[in-house]
Structure 1
Amino acid sequence: MPTKPDPDAAKAAPAGTSTLDLALRAVEYLVQQSRPAALAQIAGALGASKATIYRHLVTLQRHGFVRQDAETGRYEAGIKLMVLGEALRQRFDIVSAAREELMTLRDRTGQAVTVCAAIDAELIVLELIQGRTLIEFATRPGTRLAFHASAHGKIWLAFGSQERTAAIANGELKAWTPATIVTRDALLADLDVVRERGWATAPDEVITGVNTLAAPVFDHRQILVGSIAIVGATQFIPPEPDPEQIREVVGSAARISRGLTWKD
């Protein structure tokens, strides 16, 4: 098929972005279709020439984002999109899969409950369930936490990517309070303890007078996909938590992990 330059293609967006923009729109268009689409149909829908769309489809097909029916020549979304979508979905599935367990944890401990996940290079709060105490916390969904200064973060550093752990430990460790761990050796020593006992705390390390007790959630591959925790004033969750609190948090995390497995 001829590949003559399309003089109209560059007019759709600022230089340097139009090509990517059109390719992404092509993928989005194919995902939304209920059946494979012809080249002319795709080009017409996106307002570009068939030659330009064809070039994008060839590249997308080479990377698995688009597939072409060998008999009809029509195009549809590729299997790679499903694979990537499933990988992304698993990051957030913990919230819906764990909701009942999290509500039970809140009711049994009386404390606020949070769920976190590491997304790209950041630790993000996915859910907050306020506790039964008079204190309410502002760590709403979308709040970013420090890996080195939070119980959630220590879980991710202890059981997650070794590359991330090394990068955080060797980088600048900001002091949020006088109790924040700010040296590499102290952080690594704390993480060794977290791995050994299976849970983490961060008393007074982010906010003075507040402690968090967190535990890891693993998927069927035994890969860390989330962390859950109870959060409260240190008068309710002391630096050395009550054994019953530990049992409740660790037990909830284990049950959520079992719920995320694909087999017994």
Structure 2
Amino acid sequence: MPEDLKLAGKEPAGTSTLDLALRALEFLAHESQPLSLAHIAEALSASKATIYRHLVTLQRHGLVSQDPDTGRYEVGVKLLVLGEAVRARFDVVAAAREELMRLRDSIGQAVTICRVVEGELVVLDLIQGRTVVEFGTRPGTRFDLHASAHGKVWLAFGPSALLQRTLAGPLPHWTPSTITDAGRLAAEVELVRRQGWAAAADEMITAVNALAAPVFDHRKHIAGSIAIVGATQFIPSPPDAVQLEKLLAAAQAISRGLGWRANR
């Protein structure tokens, strides 16, 4: 270990350096106009030379930009892009919460909302049903794309590369009903695309079924998927018409809240 990191009571140099760079970025983000190097350095109680080095690094990564005429600094476009990417993940949860509560209350079964994040299908929220059985699924839980109703929805309405990668990869065998044949999965996904919803009775857990539907944003891109989940005695296969109708109505309501319009 470098000698300077062994000094008692001292933070590693990288930590304090990163801290100052992030403070500079946050400071610029909260300002309404570009600022001079001297102004930024004074506000952060640091030397102009130190702040300049941080700004150059942030600028190289697109997080800060410099006006070529005035030399003043402001946040870069990339910061906005990153913010939008993260916001999209959580907007769907906020937009969906009230509808999911209504769906749970009308059907009595647990409801979940999922999203694909960095290639993985992740549970964003779960509202327990009003039955004696509770599910251990929690936000952050990962589902297999090929073995879940949520996953089939994403394979049907998500990026084509997601389907291609899933079909080319291993398809783990969870139960005797899990689809592990690529050709059969492709046909199932095509059916989901045509009908607008997916089911997965006994495919991940025996005696458990889920009905899932896509949620779209203002660009008509899939922004999430919602599902009702419960024992197969309560969510049969083929699905109950009333349950399916309420699920699809909730998905459309959430989509409208995200700016989706059917006739656009």
TM-score by length of 1: 0.84
Q: Residue 58 of structure 1 aligns with which residue?
A: 56
**Pair 41,176 (structure 1): closer, same or farther in 2 beyond 3 Å:** farther
How many residue pairs get matched? 251
Pair 1:115-2:150 in alignment: no
CA contact 2:201–2:209 (8 Å) conserved in 1: yes
What is the rounded CA distance, in whole Å, between the counterparts of 1:199 and 1:28 in structure 2? 43
Question: Identity over the aligned pairs, expressed in percent?
Answer: 63
Determine if the alignment matches structure 1 residue 255 to structure 2 residue 257. Answer: no
CA separation in 2, counterparts of 1:187 and 1:21? 48
Cα deviation for residue 20 of structure 1 reads 7.4
Deviation at 1:186, TM superposition (A): 1.1
Cα deviation per residue 1:121-158 (whole Å; 9 max; x = unaligned)?
A: 11111110111111101111111111111100110011
User: How far off is 1:258 after superposition?
Assistant: 1.1
Q: How does 1:55-204 map to 2 (within 5 A)?
A: 55-61=53-59, 64-69=62-67, 73-204=71-202
Greater displacement, 111-120 / 42-51: 42-51
Between the aligned partners of 2:185 and 2:229, the Cα distance in structure 1 is 21
1:21 and 1:178 mapped to 2: Cα distance? 52
For structure 1, list consecutive stretches of 5 or more residues without a partner in the other structure: 1-10
Q: CA deviation at 1:41?
A: 5.7
Change (3 A) 1:48 1:178: farther
Report the counterpart of residue 39 of structure 1 in structure 2. Answer: 37
**In the alignment, residue 148 of structure 1 is paired with which amino acid?**
H
Amino acid at match of 1:183: D
Alignment match, 1:222: 220
1:81-108 deviations in Å (ceiling 9; x for gaps): 1232123212211111111111111111
CA–CA distance in 1 between the matches of 2:260 and 2:167?
34
Confirm whether residue 30 of structure 1 aligns to residue 28 of structure 2.
Answer: yes
Other-structure match for 2:209: 211
Shift of 1:33: 5.5
Residues 182 and 101 (structure 1), Cα distance of their counterparts in 2 relative to 1, 3 Å cut: same
For 2:126 and 2:243, locate their aligned partners in 1 and report how far apart those are by CA, in whole Å. Answer: 18
In the alignment, structure 2 segments of 5+ residues that lack a partner are 1-11
**Which shifted more, 44-53 or 89-98?**
44-53
Report if the CA contact (8 A) 2:216-2:260 is conserved.
Answer: no
- The TM-score normalised by the length of structure 2 is 0.84
1:27 shift after superposition: 2.7
RMSD: 2.7
For residues 198 and 21 of structure 2, the distance between their equivalents in structure 1, rounded to whole angstroms, comes to: 45
